[in-house]
Each structure stands twice: as C-alpha cells, then as structure tokens.
C-alpha cells in the first residue's frame, strides 16, 4: 500500500517541521535570536543536526516558516468563525471580534522578552502580502453580505469599509482587556451602520 | 544690541539646519541612502563640509532630525486646525479629517522611489513615542469635549475612543483619493456617536 506509506512519511515530515517551528519560536522568544543556533534547535527538537538541515537552511528560514504558519492559522480561524454563523450581521460581528482578539494576542507576544526583536525580523514578505489581500477580500465579502441584509451601509464601497475595519481593529493591540476589545468592535460596527438608521433626517443627503 | 545679534545668529543657524534637512531628505528620496554622503549634502545645501559637521555627525542623524521636524509640523498643523474651530463636534471632525489627510500624504511619500527605504530607516524613537502620546492626548481631550457636548458617546472612556480613531484613520493610507479619506472620517465619526442616538431602543442597555 504505497499510498498509505507515503501518507505516513508525509505525516512524519509535517510533525518534525511543526516541532521545529515551535521549538525555534520558543527559543528565540526566551533567549533572543543571537543566542539561538541550528545545533540548539536540533537538540531541543530531539532530532539530529543533519536532519534539521534537510528541512531548513538556517534559523531565519525557520522563523519565516513559523510566521507563515501562524498567519495561515489566523486566516483559518477567521474562516471557521465565519462559516459557523448564518446571519450576515452576526457573522460580521463575530469575525470582527475574532480579528480584534488575534491582534490583542499578537501585541501580547510582541511584549515578551524578545518579542519585539522577533517581530522586527519577520519582515512583510510575499506570503504576508497574500494573506493581507485574502483577509481584505474576506472582510469585503462579509460587508457586502451584511449590506445586502441591510445591516451595513451600502453607500460606501465594501472594499473601503473593509480597509476601515482592518485598521480600526488593530487598535485592539493597544487595549488592555478583552472587554475593551469588545467595546472597540462595538464602536467599529456602529461606524458601519446605514446612515438612514443613525440619522433619519439625513436620508436624502 | 547683543540680543538682536544673538537672534540673528540663531535665525541663521535655523535656516542652515532647515536647508540641510530639506536637501538630505530630497537626496535620499531621489537616489537612495547608500549614494548620499555628507560631502554631497554639504555641496547641495551650499555650505562647507566642515560647517555641515558642526551641525550633524552623519547622514542618519540628519534624517532623524528631519523626521522629528516633520512630526512636529504635523502636530502643529493638527493643533492649528483644533484652535480654529469652537464647536466641539465640528472641531473633532476637522481634526480627524486633517489627521486622515496627513496619513494619506505620508503613504504617498512612502511610495516614492526610495520612500520605503527612508521609512525603514526612521525607526520609532523616543521623539516618535512622545509625539504619539501627545497626539493621543489631543484626541482624548477633543473626544471628551465632544462627549460633554453630546456629540460623542460617553459610555466608553475617551482614551479608548482615541485609540480607535488613531487606528481607524491610518486606513487613509490605503485609500486612493481625498473623497475616500473623507468617507473614512465620516464612518469613523459614525462609530463615535452616542448609542441612544443610533439605537433608541437600547438606551437602557
């Protein structure tokens, strides 16, 4: 059964890869990049140094892969939240909230001993640009659906509203608690409501 | 009249300093940092190389001073807009709009040939942190005054609303036109309105 065998190999490779990423991120966050070597990573992951080099050429490439995996996980998390809710308005609110909390968590990591150093290393690359595009498209679709349901204004393009949401919610990184992040989502959502609902006198304007 | 003489000296020094900053920023934006030397800067500014070294030790320190001057100019611009309008709601709107346009302009510079390289050099330093604190305080006060006038919700701390505004308006950097930036300000302001004005049924909640 070569297919099953290949799957086993692939599962094993994925497990080694994942363990390497986890170990490296933990080592860098704890000790700083300059004190983390390929030997140290191999030792802590429990694999040989030669094996590690079959997966990654250097520490930077491991961190880049770790970052890529984290971004994919965030996108997957948001898609899961989206697909769990049927009502367009509630769906939008849930995804905005999940995104705000991801940002709050991200800044918490940034404040770990070597978190800022790690963040500075993770330059925006092609993968990040792709993820940001994907995220903006997801928000744009959610906003279009909510606008069609009458919960969001339709006099401003959904793409512009998506840009507003994505920026407004990054404010969660500067807020101290989950309730504060929830208030931010509430304020951000209030900005999206149809103007005729908020300003009955201005419907014609 | 030693006082006048000192003022003349000071005015002259300030003029040389300003000219140096302008020249350096223009040279870096046009040719990139690596091709800009102290000699080149002195030549283009029209001063001697020895004179330039009396003002600045290296190119990086000139760029840092240039950045500091630009941030101060932006804060001054926002304060001028603020002090021009008496009505708290209109004042808030005008300052938010000015801030959005500053951000749009900033990203336009970023997209110049070597704009991104220049931006990457201008690391957030103490001066930037001080300016951000100052900006947040300015927004917080404007929001408190607008809340006292009934134009902004007062059930969420003005500091949290300031954080929301500052982040939401950075979205202007991704918007293509001034009308788009104005729509962003409109949406951001809508998020700030008292909930009883937008949701009459929820006043008790």
Write the DSSP assignment of A121-186 as a string of letters. Answer: HS---HHHHHHHHHHHHHHHHHHHHHHHTTSS-SSS-HHHHHHHHHHHHGGGGG-SSHHHHHHHHH
pLDDT at B4 over 80: no
Find the CATH number of the domain harbouring A49: 1.10.10.60
Residue A114, pLDDT score: 64
Where a domain ends, among B10, B39, B57?
B57
Residue B113, pLDDT score: 63
- Give residue for tokens 């003489």: B5
Write the DSSP assignment of B48-108 as a string of letters. Answer: -HHHHHHH-SSHHHHHHHHHHHHHHHHHHHHHHHHHH--SHHHHHHHHHHHHHHHHHHHHH
Examine the domain organization and report whether B98 and B131 are in the same domain. yes
In a domain, B188, yes or no: yes
pLDDT at B204 over 50: no
Residue A205, pLDDT score: 37
**Which one of B23-32, B100-109, B189-198 scores highest in mean pLDDT?**
B23-32
Q: In Å, what is the CA distance from A205 to each residue of A148, A183, A202?
A: 21, 29, 5
In a domain, B172, yes or no: yes
Examine the domain organization and report whether A53 and A63 are in the same domain. no
Examine the domain organization and report whether B52 and B67 are in the same domain. no
Name the least confident of A105-114, B13-22, B89-98: A105-114
Examine the domain organization and report whether A12 and A78 are in the same domain. no
**Cross-chain Cβ contact B180/A170 below 8 Å:** no
In a domain, B8, yes or no: yes
Examine the domain organization and report whether A79 and A26 are in the same domain. no
Examine the domain organization and report whether B189 and B120 are in the same domain. yes
Examine the domain organization and report whether A130 and A41 are in the same domain. no
Residue B142: which of B99, B102, B180, B178 has the closest Cα?
B99
- Whole domain around residue A126: which residue ranges? 59-202
**Cross-chain Cβ contact B191/A188 below 8 Å:** yes
Q: In Å, what is the CA distance from A151 to each residue of A143, A160, A189?
A: 9, 16, 10
**Cross-chain Cβ contact A183/B175 below 8 Å:** no
On whether the CB atoms of residues B65 and B21 are closer than 8 A, the answer is yes
Dist CA A189 CA A182 (whole Å) = 11
Dist CA A32 CA A154 (whole Å) = 48
Taking contacts as CB-CB distances below 8 angstroms, the residues of chain A near B166 are: 171
Residue B53: which of B5, B25, B16 has the closest Cα?
B16
Taking contacts as CB-CB distances below 8 angstroms, the residues of chain B near A187 are: 153, 156, 161, 164, 191-192
In a domain, B111, yes or no: yes
Examine the domain organization and report whether B119 and B161 are in the same domain. yes
On whether the CB atoms of residues A71 and A127 are closer than 8 A, the answer is yes
In a domain, B202, yes or no: no
Mapped onto helix, strand or coil, the DSSP state of residue B172 is helix
For B193, residues 6+ apart whose C-beta sits below 8 A from its C-beta are A190, A198, B151, B152, B153
Examine the domain organization and report whether A185 and A106 are in the same domain. yes
Condensed to tens digits (0 to 9), the pLDDT of residues B28-80 reads: 888 888 889 999 999 999 999 999 999 999 998 998 899 889 889 999 999 99
In a domain, B147, yes or no: yes
Where a domain ends, among A57, A77, A101?
A57
In a domain, B200, yes or no: no
Taking contacts as CB-CB distances below 8 angstroms, the residues of chain A near B195 are: 190
> What averages of pLDDT result for each successive group of 10 residues across chain A (205 residues)?
73 93 90 89 95 94 90 93 96 96 80 64 72 93 97 96 95 91 96 73 40
Examine the domain organization and report whether A78 and A174 are in the same domain. yes
Residue A123, pLDDT score: 62
Mapped onto helix, strand or coil, the DSSP state of residue B36 is coil
Dist CA A205 CA A196 (whole Å) = 10
Q: In Å, what is the CA distance from B44 to each residue of A147, B23, B24, B28, B47?
A: 55, 7, 9, 12, 8
Residue B158, pLDDT score: 97
Dist CA A82 CA A97 (whole Å) = 11
Between vectors from CA A40 to CA A34 and to CA A42, what angle results, nearest 5°? Answer: 130
Examine the domain organization and report whether A107 and A181 are in the same domain. yes
In a domain, B201, yes or no: no
Dist CA B172 CA B147 (whole Å) = 24
Average pLDDT, chain B: 87
**Cross-chain Cβ contact B187/A192 below 8 Å:** yes
Q: Write down the ipTM of this complex.
A: 0.80
Dist CA B45 CA B49 (whole Å) = 10
Find the CATH number of the domain harbouring B70: 1.10.357.10
Residue A191, pLDDT score: 96
Dist CA B78 CA B75 (whole Å) = 5
Q: Which residue in B has a C-alpha nearest to residue A193's C-alpha? A: B190
- What does the DSSP 8-state code read for residue A1? -
Of A156, A167, A197, nearest to B170 by CB-CB distance is A167
Examine the domain organization and report whether A116 and A164 are in the same domain. yes
Q: Which residue in A has a C-alpha nearest to residue B155's C-alpha? A: A183
Domain count, chain B: 2
Residue A124, pLDDT score: 62
Dist CA A31 CA A114 (whole Å) = 7
Condensed to tens digits (0 to 9), the pLDDT of residues B114-126 reads: 666 666 666 666 7
């Amino acid at each position: 059964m070569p297919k099953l065998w290949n799957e086993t190999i692939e599962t094993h490779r994925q497990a080694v890869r994942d363990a390497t990423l986890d170990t490296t991120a933990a080592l860098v966050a704890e000790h700083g990049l300059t004190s983390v070597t390929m030997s140290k990573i191999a030792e802590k992951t429990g694999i040989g140094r030669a094996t590690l080099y079959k997966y990654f050429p250097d520490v930077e490439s491991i961190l880049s892969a770790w970052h890529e995996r984290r971004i994919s996980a965030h996108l997957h998390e948001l898609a899961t939240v989206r697909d769990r809710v049927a009502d367009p308005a509630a769906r939008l609110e849930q995804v905005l909230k999940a995104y705000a909390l991801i940002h709050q968590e991200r800044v918490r990591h940034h404040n770990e001993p070597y978190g800022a150093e790690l963040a500075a290393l993770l330059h925006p690359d092609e993968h990040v640009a792709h993820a940001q595009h994907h995220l903006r498209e997801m928000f744009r679709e959610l906003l279009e659906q909510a606008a069609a349901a009458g919960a969001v204004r339709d006099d401003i393009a959904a793409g512009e509203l998506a840009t507003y949401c994505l920026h407004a919610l990054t404010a969660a990184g500067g807020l101290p608690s989950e309730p504060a992040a929830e208030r931010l989502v509430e304020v951000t959502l209030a900005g999206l409501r149809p103007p005729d609902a908020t300003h009955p006198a201005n419907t014609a304007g």
